[in-house]
Structure 1
Amino acid sequence: MRRGVAALPTALRASKGGLLVLALLVGAGAGLGAIAFRWMIKTFTLLLSGHADYAAAGHAANPHVPWLGRWFVLLTPVVAGLLYGPLVQRFAKEARGHGVPEVMYAVARRGGRIAPQVALVKSLASALCIGGGGSVGREGPIVQIGSALGSTLGRVVRVPEDRMKVLVACGAAGGIAATFNAPLAGVFFAMELILRDFTAEAFGMVVLSSVTSSVIGRAAFGDTPFLQLPALGVHHLSQYLLFALLGVIAGAVGVGFTRILYWIEDACDWAWRGPEWARPAVGGLLLGLLLLVLPQMYGVGYPVLENAVNGTYVIGFLLLLLVAKIAATSLTIGIGGSGGVFAPSLFMGAMLGSAFGLTAGHLFPGAVGPVGAYGLIGMGAVFAGAARAPITAVIILFELTGEYTIILPLMTAIVLATGVSRALSRDTIYSLKLRRRGIDLDEKPAGSPFAGLTVATAMEPLPKTLDENQPLSKAADILAASPHGVLPVLTADGSYLGIATARAAAETLADGTHDTTTIAYITHRPGPITADTNLSEALDALVATEGAGLPVLDPARTHLTGWITHQSVLTALHRRP
């Protein structure tokens, strides 16, 4: 019986059926996480504003503090900031901001490893930020929450890094699918922005996770389109020219939003001199002033978006809301808030598109069609201009609204917006955050000096191995004496389990609660390297992993045959004729 239980993690790690089971588990976890996250947002919004969605309440008073009248919004972001600021600073600094770039970086550079506490901290911080008036969305947080769940499950089972990345993408897709009732959009968001790799196996696993999460989400939220819009359609062929022009303008607006967002963040960095944990609370005063003037900026603002698409507002007010949303979202992120930029880009697109439609209606009466069509197309086009993810933009707008009648003009506008964005800016709203840190996910070496070399030319003899049942305290001494700070870990029957690093041992022992823990607790399994692996790929794996060495496995990837280090790679290059 014990042998069967012990074999379960191995089966999950190695078999295709195991990956399928893990994808289903991640999808279920992401679905439940999305339900909990939306419940937290609703709860904190009710507690802090007294309304289910204050963006639609005008200048109403908070029934919890009626004596403050409309002025309570000055304090709401401050109170929320006092709660989530220390939480993020103390437990998970990566939970600050809009979340998606951190997941992209984890997949591209860290083998899909995301700290497990990120899921809890991000959900609490983002729910408090949005509930307290932060003008951000929930797609970034739910992507980071779902991805953290996938990464945590992968670390528990100790899957290889290639499968870890797939599980992270599964979590991202599941989060989007459940929270927006959009399973297809979840899949393409994960593939286009997170994995950026359309392999058949990865696609299949992400689809399974997204469907599982969506089923759970629909059981909780119902099976209806996320936005309720009037009937839309294209009434004249001449409208295609107007839709194309809107796409060009929307692409420029998406790029402008990206630049203003980071410009305001830089300004906040320059101005702030106090402790980081207090930054959201102090900066919340500025956000409160904006909310006092325009309460429509409170939280995500979907009711305001629907009003705009339904033709409720006049042109001047629509443009005011567009500019205010750019400022409010940028300020929320700049002061250290936690939330996504996808929903704000939809909001901006709805304001821009509706204003464009109304203006065109005045200039060309009778040939323009319903304003809502322009609002909807503007939503997709501004998101495409900011994120440069055209497939996701088309699919997600279709699923969020259930409108198929304007799919052709929607595709036209989104493609043009993407082209304009690419012409105006090298980066997207997600990649620019990473490039500002010196990280370029698209950077490829011009040529590899390792071409034609395999790991077999650089293998070293095996270092000392650790047994999975060895106490962590004893194994830490052996790791401390190892030349590269990393050693392989074997199971009781001599099979390869993974690697353990001196850094992980030190961090685990530092809390004083793991003295009786075995080395298996900190063991993880990097992407498999065999003697036939290209040496350039092996070096990439070395750079991405902790420590300075990696095991070389037999073709079955169950037993060790050698060891590879940075020094052995350089030696192989030096000896090359």
Structure 2
Amino acid sequence: MALAVTVGAGAGVGSIVFRWCIKTFTHLLSGHADYAASPGAGNPQLPWLGPYFVVFAPVVGGLLYGPLMNRFAREARGHGVPEVMLAVAQRGGRISPKVAVVKTLASALCIGSGGSVGREGPIVQIGSALGSTLGRVTKVTEGRMKLLVACGAAGGIAATFNAPLAGVFFAMELILSTFSAEAFGATVLASVTASVIGRAAFGDSAFLNLPDFHVDHLAQYGLFAALGVGAAVVGVGFSRFLYLIEDACDVAWRGPEWLRPAAGGLLLGLVLLALPQMYGVGYPVLQKATEGHYAVGFLILLLLGKMLATSLTIGIGGSGGVFAPSLFIGAMLGSAYGIGVHHLLPHSAGAVGAYALVGMGAVFAGAARAPITAVVILFELTGEYAIILPLMLAIVLATATSRLLTRDTIYTLKLRRRGIDLEGPAPGAPIGSQHVGAVMEPLPSPLPSSTTLADSADVLSLSGHGALPVVDDRGAYVGVVTAQAVAEALAEQPEAAPTRVGQLAEPPSPITADQPLAQALHTLLSAAGTGLPVLDDTDGRPVGWLSHQSALRAVHAPA
């Protein structure tokens, strides 16, 4: 608890420093507190350049943060969250402490000089690095180290967006990829601590101010559902376009890596000259879109422009997040969609701002496949509860559609392109490429489903397994019964308790003989007993047994 609070406090202070750095560098390089609020204006410090200063601002920024990252922390390049996910999944939560310092300066310089990226990726990496450093200093176990990393991520999101609940679910859904009472309690402590510090510095106001909204017609739910499906396509398209541009930059650039952000900054500057609304994070433009100040054609232009500007910023070696760009793209899509349906159904379409908000959440859900985080953070960022039902509907449909379209998210795709599977083993791990069929044990004698609980308790106590397969009267596999389930049933009231073991049998998540062992371990570790049946990949009948002991034997088995 004390460590979680400490990490939350560090993340809160880190978010204050980070946002101050962004504001300072933005003012130094553009002459404005937020250039997106006055696009096309000149730099008051360089009046003779007029609006053309935006061509050179990214070059100057790249000359500063490019050598900084190349010399001290190359992992600070990019949008940050995938590196934290990798550290938790395969590196025991270990993140270099210098990442916090380098990421703060590099991302602030990138955003301040016009980089069209968000601040959530950097603050997640900053907070996580603080949590990892504290865990290393206090010499906690690997499990606690991972939890402290998640606490840092939760605190960073909570403080920078004034969204404590979203910080908790972001950490559990994306960083830890698991839900437990301990993880929830620790991340809540960190998130609350960081939020208190963040609110003391930034105030306690909603991120967006939307007009009152009410669903007056059931037909609107159909419109929101269609928006959710379309937003998933846009979210997946944004993910693919991001890495397409990054690949193109990799092919085109043949010079030293420290110079790449400056050289590519010239291209980014030309994009900013054509569309100055892309400068920095772009929250003022997003706010205007939700208020309906832009025409449909210009909204589509802003959507495509953000995709290009963000992808180019990341591709040239910039440092910043993709969460805020996802919200921006979703707002443009939702606003354009809302204006369109309002013209077609003026009496039942509802407010344009509501479609913008739903589009924000749905595009992020389509890109990142984090539906709980998407729902909670949009609610907290706006304070608009009336939109929650359409928001949930669109986000769930966006998540499902995204899963049908691709197996990867905008975060995991970056890692998979480097040959890293978060569900698999780390490169060089002793348990690596083996398949379940190579290490499984013989299948224990199954229990007939008609066996009484007393008899099954005797068999389980002598079997050496904490669970056994169960078959019906015809010998067909029906599931697994655990010793815990039998013991709990025997402790119930006799008239209310089951009498046969078949009533307690449940089919666990399937493991097949041709499945990679590293992937099957996730299923095994989450199972209630000490082992699981291995199923034939053709007819689904049990052919073996996978236990923790048999998995460990893979260390000595030939690869």
TM-score, normalization by structure 2: 0.78
Deviation at 1:448, TM superposition (A): 7.2
Matched, 1:137 2:101: no
SS where residue 234 of structure 2 aligns? helix
Amino acid at match of 1:151: S
Equivalences for residues 211-290 of structure 1 within 5 A = 211-290=192-271
Correspondent of 1:208 among 159, 176, 189: 189
Deviation at 1:155, TM superposition (A): 0.5
What whole-Å deviation, never above 9, does each CA across 1:303-324 have from its counterpart, x for those lacking one?
0000000000000000000000
Correspondent of 1:116 among 84, 91, 97: 97
Matched, 1:310 2:291: yes
* Contact 1:126 1:339 (8 Å CA) reproduced: yes
* Contact 2:104 2:126 (8 Å CA) reproduced: yes
What residue is the counterpart of 1:419 in the other structure?
A: 400
* Contact 1:233 1:373 (8 Å CA) reproduced: no
What residue is the counterpart of 2:72 in the other structure?
A: 91
What residue is the counterpart of 2:37 in the other structure?
A: 56
Shift in CA distance, 88/369, structure 1 to aligned 2, threshold 3 Å: same
What residue is the counterpart of 1:485 in the other structure?
A: none
Unaligned runs of 5+ in 2: 426-433, 443-516, 522-551
Matched, 1:370 2:346: no
SS where residue 83 of structure 1 aligns? helix
Shift in CA distance, 393/448, structure 1 to aligned 2, threshold 3 Å: farther
Amino acid at match of 1:346: L
Correspondent of 1:325 among 306, 311, 314: 306
Deviation at 1:451, TM superposition (A): 5.9
What whole-Å deviation, never above 9, does each CA across 1:541-567 have from its counterpart, x for those lacking one?
xxxxxxxxxxxxxxxxxxxxxxxxxxx
How many residues are treated as equivalent by the alignment? 446
* Contact 2:210 2:291 (8 Å CA) reproduced: yes
What whole-Å deviation, never above 9, does each CA across 1:198-255 have from its counterpart, x for those lacking one?
1211111111110111011111111111222222222211111100000010000000
- Give distance in 1, aligned partners of 2:417 and 2:437: 26
Correspondent of 1:447 among 436, 440, 444: 436
* Contact 2:439 2:554 (8 Å CA) reproduced: no
* Contact 2:243 2:311 (8 Å CA) reproduced: yes
Deviation at 1:365, TM superposition (A): 1.6
SS where residue 75 of structure 1 aligns? helix
- Give distance in 2, aligned partners of 1:111 and 1:233: 47
Structure 1 stretch displaced more, 183-192 or 444-453: 444-453
Shift in CA distance, 448/339, structure 1 to aligned 2, threshold 3 Å: farther
- Give distance in 1, aligned partners of 2:34 and 2:114: 10
What residue is the counterpart of 2:27 in the other structure?
A: 46
Equivalences for residues 138-537 of structure 1 within 5 A = 138-443=119-424, 447=436
Shift in CA distance, 364/166, structure 1 to aligned 2, threshold 3 Å: same
What whole-Å deviation, never above 9, does each CA across 1:130-185 have from its counterpart, x for those lacking one?
00000000000000000000000001111111100000000000000000000000
* Contact 2:439 2:553 (8 Å CA) reproduced: no
Q: RMSD of the TM alignment (CA)?
A: 1.9
What whole-Å deviation, never above 9, does each CA across 1:56-87 have from its counterpart, x for those lacking one?
11211101111110100000000000000000
What residue is the counterpart of 2:541 in the other structure?
A: none
What residue is the counterpart of 2:542 in the other structure?
A: none
- Give distance in 2, aligned partners of 1:252 and 1:446: 35
Unaligned runs of 5+ in 1: 1-19, 454-535, 541-567
- Give distance in 2, aligned partners of 1:38 and 1:233: 35
* Contact 2:16 2:198 (8 Å CA) reproduced: yes
- Give distance in 1, aligned partners of 2:345 and 2:198: 43
- Give distance in 2, aligned partners of 1:328 and 1:346: 14
* Contact 2:268 2:309 (8 Å CA) reproduced: yes
Amino acid at match of 2:106: A
Shift in CA distance, 91/351, structure 1 to aligned 2, threshold 3 Å: same
SS where residue 436 of structure 2 aligns? coil
Amino acid at match of 1:407: I
- Give distance in 2, aligned partners of 1:103 and 1:305: 28
Amino acid at match of 2:436: G
- Give distance in 1, aligned partners of 2:214 and 2:317: 41
Shift in CA distance, 571/109, structure 1 to aligned 2, threshold 3 Å: closer
* Contact 2:73 2:102 (8 Å CA) reproduced: yes
SS where residue 218 of structure 2 aligns? coil
